[in-house]
């Protein structure tokens, strides 16, 4: 039996920050399992961790790799204390100008892989375990030029809140994290074809503060957290102003 924490998207940005903050915060964990494609990046992060780490280089879109992970959980008699689904990416641009395949990959990583990871880990999660799902403030409202990404994050938020209701009676808690822009490599990929609006950069928070808020909310068993004052205000706006009005206004910015 082995108490583990699993983090997807562990090779950079928010996932990497989860590893670093949890490494210093948790003592009763035997191993951190780090999942992403870039093995060299995870090896660098593992070097500074106090805990034992298992680096699992895998493409989350690969069905067979997921099956291997499921087998590994059983083989190692893993007890998953925390699952953090942080892997994900976005692409800015108009729907019919971006490639269909790249946009379908967004669905595969942001929705399908997150769903499958959650499904295969749940049988290994006892009472007191927690799941942290990286959604986004993009979940609150449709977004022109970020249509598929915003839709994937609405899925993550809705799924996570519903799942939280389903597993609470077993003492398992799910927290959806909804930050606005966070200073990571995310925008290097998102801006591959089209740059984002300057206002996004103005509201940017650090991955440190995003993860700190996420871990606090998870500890407090909250179903959802919105890090940063700007995005809290944005959420309020989306609750009181008709979405069509906000969409027209955002076209002007």
Ligand X SMILES: NC(=O)c1ccc[n+]([C@@H]2O[C@H](COP(=O)([O-])OP(=O)(O)OC[C@H]3O[C@@H](n4cnc5c(N)ncnc54)[C@H](OP(=O)(O)O)[C@@H]3O)[C@@H](O)[C@H]2O)c1
Residues with a catalytic annotation lie at: 149
Subset of residues 50 to 69 that bind ligand X, contact rule: CB under 6 A: 59-61
Among 9, 93, 227, 228, binds ligand X (CB under 6 A): 9
- 164 near 173, Cβ under 8 Å? yes
Query: H or E element: which one contains 173?
Result: strand 173-177
15 near ligand X, rule: CB under 6 A: yes
185 near ligand X, rule: CB under 6 A: yes
Residue 249 has a CB neighbour count (10 Å cut-off) of 11
The interface region with ligand X, picked from 67-75, 76-84, 178-186, 244-252 by CB under 6 A, is: 178-186
Alpha carbons 22 and 145: distance in angstroms, whole number: 35
- 137 near 231, Cβ under 8 Å? yes
Q: How far is the CB of 15 from ligand X (least distance, A)?
A: 5
160 near ligand X, rule: CB under 6 A: no
Q: In 3D, which of 4, 246, 249, 253 has the Cα closest to residue 124?
A: 4
Smaller CB separation from ligand X, 45 or 245: 45
Structure tokens at 248: 């027209």
What does 114-143 look like in DSSP terms, one character per residue? HHHHHHHHGGG--TT-EEEEE--GGGGS--
Subset of residues 24 to 53 that bind ligand X, contact rule: CB under 6 A: 36-38
88 near ligand X, rule: CB under 6 A: yes
Q: How far is the CB of 137 from ligand X (least distance, A)?
A: 7
143 near ligand X, rule: CB under 6 A: no
218 near ligand X, rule: CB under 6 A: no
- The angle at the Cα of 39, spanning 34 to 40, to the nearest 5 degrees, equals 120
Q: How far is the CB of 97 from ligand X (least distance, A)?
A: 21
93 near ligand X, rule: CB under 6 A: no
Strand order in the sheet with 173-177: 52-57, 31-36, 2-8, 78-85, 130-134, 173-177, 224-225
Q: How far is the CB of 27 from ligand X (least distance, A)?
A: 25
Give the interface with ligand X as residue ranges (CB under 6 A).
9-15, 36-38, 59-61, 86-90, 109, 134, 136, 179, 181-182, 184-186, 189
């Amino acid at each position: 039996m082995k108490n583990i924490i699993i983090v997807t998207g562990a090779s950079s940005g928010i996932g990497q920050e989860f590893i670093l903050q949890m490494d210093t915060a948790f003592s009763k964990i035997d191993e951190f399992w780090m999942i992403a494609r870039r093995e060299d990046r995870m090896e660098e992060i593992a070097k500074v961790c106090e805990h034992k780490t298992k680096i699992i280089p895998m493409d989350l879109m690969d069905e067979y790799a997921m099956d291997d992970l499921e087998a590994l959980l059983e083989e190692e008699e893993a007890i998953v204390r925390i699952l953090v689904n942080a892997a994900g990416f976005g692409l800015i641009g108009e729907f019919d100008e971006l490639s269909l395949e790249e946009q379908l990959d967004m669905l595969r990583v942001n929705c399908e892989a997150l769903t499958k990871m959650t499904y295969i880990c749940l049988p290994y999660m006892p009472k007191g375990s927690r799941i942290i799902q990286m959604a986004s403030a993009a979940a609150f409202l449709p977004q022109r030029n970020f249509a598929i990404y915003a839709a994937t994050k609405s899925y993550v938020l809705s799924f996570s809140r519903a799942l939280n209701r389903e597993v609470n009676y077993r003492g398992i808690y799910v927290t959806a994290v909804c930050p606005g822009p966070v200073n990571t490599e995310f925008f290097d990929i998102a801006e591959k074809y089209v740059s984002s609006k300057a206002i996004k950069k103005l509201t940017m928070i650090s991955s440190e503060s995003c993860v700190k808020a996420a871990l606090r909310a998870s500890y407090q068993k909250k179903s959802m957290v919105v890090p940063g004052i700007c995005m809290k205000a944005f959420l309020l706006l989306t609750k009181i102003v008709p979405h069509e009005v906000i969409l027209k206004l955002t076209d002007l910015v």
